[in-house]
Structure 1
Amino acid sequence: MKGLPVVTIVGRQNVGKSTLFNAILRAQSAITENTAGVTRDVLQKIVERSEFKIPFTLSDTPGLDIENIDEISKEIIDIAFEHLRNSDLILHVIDHKDLRKYDHKLIDLFKKDDILKDKMVLTLINKVDTEQDEYDLEPFYKLGLNELLPISALGRRNFDLLYQKINFFLPDKIKMPEDPYCKIAIIGKPNSGKSSLLNTFLGYKRAVVSDVPGTTRDSVSDQFYFQNQKLEIIDTAGIRRKSKTGESLEFYSYKRTLHSLGEADVVVLLVDAMKGLGEFDKKIFGEIQELGKPMIVAVNKWDLVPEKESNSWKHYKDRMEAKLSILKERPLISLSAKEKVRTHKLLESVVALYEKSQKKLTTRALNDWLSKWGGKNKVQKASNRPPKVYYATQVSQIPFKILFFVNDTKLFPSNILSFYRKSIVAEFGLDGLAVEIELRNRNEGKEGKE
């Protein structure tokens, strides 16, 4: 168990904690009866299942609302709270049909305790067994909870979304102290200047630099410090076309390059300023876009562009955006890796984009925005049958994905989705990120599967 993230289930007695514990484990580990206080110890099991991106330790705590506290009960409560303070994610279970004084007390404790106030708490409204129950959550929203999800532990209702949220709140991998703050992959066509940029960042010649395309045959990486943060930069093998008999893109040293992109937190797509944005660059852009990685497009060799004027970069950007309109929503920068011009600014932009991509928007903030957003009136007026978003929640960071539960997915064509997405980007300061919106009909996937 040592080193694994800890997910702890907590709540008062008889709210369904052990039923939830067993449902996630798919095993009968805890005693489940209607008698309050059946679970008397902190039960722990390692969860390794395909639904979860990393293994974690799942803990089931005893009910904390013990009325007649004796010496043994006090020790049980102390151990349970100590366990909570060492958890990475807390699943707070409340009974939908029975909200009590101790529920309020526990919520208040999560907000005020010096340690617990910094913990991620996902409140699960249990025993929501019907669609009608989901319409009756107003008393819980009034509690000021940031993350709230209606479920049925017994019927596995909304378990797909529960698993998505657990994945969202847990790290992608177990981070070690020696791991870099951010991993950056440099990608582009052969001879676009990737190795020169790597060498500039490192301050010495780490990768071979040549005018011969394809000099870098494998992914080369190294670490360095920037603004007191350890960064790792990866110079990937140049992407090239297949031979004329080929049918698609190929990656030179394909598997290693794909692995590098998969490991990267931010991707820098390097474009040769003298050649401009070609069809092949657009295809590379599409490959990175499909992975959902935060990306900066850097136009290298800007020093070689002749007869530059004060507005030359603006005109150059306009031509690029005319060829690929989505570039209007992505960071663009000109630089010279060889002359070390604006390479520092590129690193600043990379770190800023990475930090932006690590944002976790609370479900409360998203739904507060939805309820007050003036744009929904424009959307509804533009349709004979108005599209409606009932509930929104963020489910991943890379890609930065927000899930909309809606009345009918068919009522959300690309122009309306784009309107929602641009409004979210503006409201939450996500400019530069590829924000995705996934639509789900309100009743889709409510009942869980074994």
Structure 2
Amino acid sequence: MSKPIVAIIGRPNVGKSTLFNALAGQQISIVKDTPGVTRDRIYADVNWLNTQFTMIDTGGIEPSTNDLILKSMREQAEIAIETADVIIFLTDVRQGVVDADFQVANMIRRSGKPVVLVVNKVDNFKTMMADVYEFYNLGLGDPMPISGNSKLGLGDMLDEVIKHFKPGTAEEEEDERPHVAIVGKPNVGKSSLINKLTGENRVIVSNIAGTTRDAIDTVIKHNGKEYVFIDTAGLRRKSKIKEDIERYSIIRTVSAVERANVVVLMIDAKEGVTEQDAKIAGIAHERGKGMIIAVNKWDAIEKDDKTMNKFTKDVREKLAFMPYAEMLFISAETGQRLPKLFDTIDAVIENHAMRVGTGVLNEILSEAVAMKQPPSDKGRRLRLYYITQVSVKPPTFVIFINDKELTHFSYTRYIENQIRETFGFRGTPLHFIYRERKDKG
């Protein structure tokens, strides 16, 4: 089941980023910093009362001229509204209800999505409530007072937000077909790839306005098996500001990745890996999805016998945090190597859901420890007692040890490599959790 998506929207300067940071920065959520994911996060995983969701912040972009502010704000808000399951509509008690708030309220109303109306900068609930009531005029139900700065009222607000989450429908639960998200920068050829695959397979494309996400899913049949492709190209928006386009595509990417088993990151062979590619890859990596890197427009590259190796090495260096990702060189235009794409998707899905017996894992562990001493500190050495696989998608292992303080990521990677040497696990990340067990005796 994918996590629900909650978008914070509102006009500039109402405190969207402050609220976002208050939620992402508190103990409410654990935000992991993955290499390749920049600090100007616009999404974070939040955990409230054992309910997890992904929060998106649409704030912060303000082009200098007035009409562009509204335009940019409106476009961001539209994409966020379209992607979200629940909307937090943030307003500012000090400025009161302004015309732009009514415009945003109308957009939300048309979407039919559940909304929680939140009034920010209420530093004193006793004296300021009269000002809060003014926001009933927006016609979006009860306004909830909060202060993002002082972190007041956030619990009540989150209680209200999670009330709107729909329990997963039975249909969604039962859809066993592989879900593949095609992600990448704008104009890298995502739509061409899907069109080519659709054309090759002569299937009637059913655009399921699937889940609540409004993403257009395309069902493609290959060798009698159905695959659901989630396209993030979606609506083309002309934007004058480069960061806007990047932000929009990240919002789309987060929601597509959330629903996929396997993510195909398309890279432009002419450009190589860009910072934006690394950000997008980081999203899939953090969420533990199966990963394929498809280098597109390979037919347009002048080649000699070293070109592919050189390009591969460059991609591996720039996306060093996901050495497990499978790589393919394709052309969406000519269809070069597209049949191989399906074989790779099948293999990655199988690896993503692979289970390994505890006996074999412990043999690998004791051999690994015998070959290379675990790290030690001030005379205490890390002891690894036992390993077992606790879940799949992605494969997750618990290792029982004597002291968490002694663990080091390089040794975890060493153990991971030993497991991969035996089982491959190509295309899927592996997660490791350490549990302490006091020294026996």
- TM-score scaled to structure 1, two decimals? 0.52
The 1:202–1:410 alpha-carbon spacing in structure 2 relative to 1, beyond 3 Å, is same
Establish whether residue 432 from structure 1 lines up as the match of residue 427 from structure 2: yes
In structure 2, the residue matched to 1:409 is 404
The amino acid of 1:316's aligned partner reads F
Distance 1:424 1:287, change over 3 A: same
Of 253, 256, 261, 1:265 maps to 261
Distance in structure 1 (CA, Å) of the matches to 2:334 and 2:417: 37
- The match for 2:388 is 393
Question: Which of 348, 351, 371 is the matching residue for 1:353?
Answer: 348
- Asked if 1:184 corresponds to 2:180, the answer is yes
Matches within 5 A, 1:280-295: 280-295=276-291
Matches of 2:237 and 2:390 in 1, distance apart? 34
Q: 1:232-271 residue pairs with structure 2 within 5 A?
A: 232-237=228-233, 250-252=247-249, 254=251, 257-271=253-267
SS of equivalent to 2:266? strand
Q: Distance in 1 between matches of 2:315 and 2:225?
A: 33
Asked if residue 334 in structure 1 is aligned to residue 299 in structure 2, the reply is no
Q: 1:379 aligns to what?
A: 373
Residues 182 and 229, structure 2, Cα contact 8 Å, conserved in 1: yes
Relative to structure 1, is the Cα distance of residues 236 and 287 closer, same or farther in structure 2, using a 3 angstrom cutoff?
Answer: same
Gaps of 5+ in 1: 1-49, 54-171, 208-216, 445-450
Residue equivalent to 2:27: none
Deviation by residue 1:361-409 (Cα, 9 ceiling, x = unmatched): 23333224334x1444412487643211222222222232111111011
CA shift digits 1:201-256 (9 cap, x unpaired): 1116999xxxxxxxxx97321112223322111111379999869699624493x6
Instruction: Provide the rounded CA distance (Å) in 2 between the counterparts of 1:240 and 1:438.
Output: 42
Q: Percent identity?
A: 32
Counterpart of 2:142 in structure 1 is none
**Amino acid in the other structure paired with 2:247:** E
1:442 and 2:440 matched: no
Q: Tell me if the contact between 1:218 and 1:237 (Cα under 8 Å) persists in the aligned partners.
A: no
Paired positions, count: 265
Going from structure 1 to structure 2, the CA distance change for 1:188 and 1:51 (only over 3 Å counts) comes to: same
Instruction: For 1:443 and 1:228, locate their aligned partners in 2 and report how far apart those are by CA, in whole Å.
Output: 53
Separation in structure 2 between the aligned mates of residue 294 and residue 356 of structure 1, nearest angstrom:
8
1:5: which partner in 2?
none
Aligned equivalents of 1:393, 1:402: Cα separation in 2: 6
Structure 2 spans left out of the alignment, 5+ residues: 1-48, 53-167, 206-212
Which residue does the alignment assign to 1:421?
416
Cα pair distance change 1:385/1:52, threshold 3 Å: same
Change (3 A) 1:266 1:282: same
Q: Which protein has the larger Cα radius of gyration, Structure 1 or Structure 2? A: 1
Question: Structure 1 residues 320 and 181 mapped into 2: Cα distance closer, same or farther (>3 Å)?
Answer: same
Name the counterpart of 1:93. Answer: none
Could you tell me the TM-score, scaled by structure 2's length?
0.53
Tell me, in whole angstroms, the C-alpha distance in 2 between the residues paired with 1:324 and 1:241.
29
Q: Tell me how large the CA RMSD over aligned residues is.
A: 3.6
Q: Would you say the 8 A contact 2:374–2:382 is kept in 1?
A: yes
Shift in CA distance, 358/241, structure 1 to aligned 2, threshold 3 Å: farther
Deviates more, 1:408-417 or 1:428-437: 428-437
Give 1:169-248 correspondences, 5 Å limit. 179-203=175-199, 219-237=215-233
Residue 101 (structure 1) aligns with:
none
What's 1:276 paired with?
Answer: 272
Q: Which amino acid aligns with 1:197?
A: L
Q: Is the 8 A contact 2:365 2:415 kept in 1?
A: no
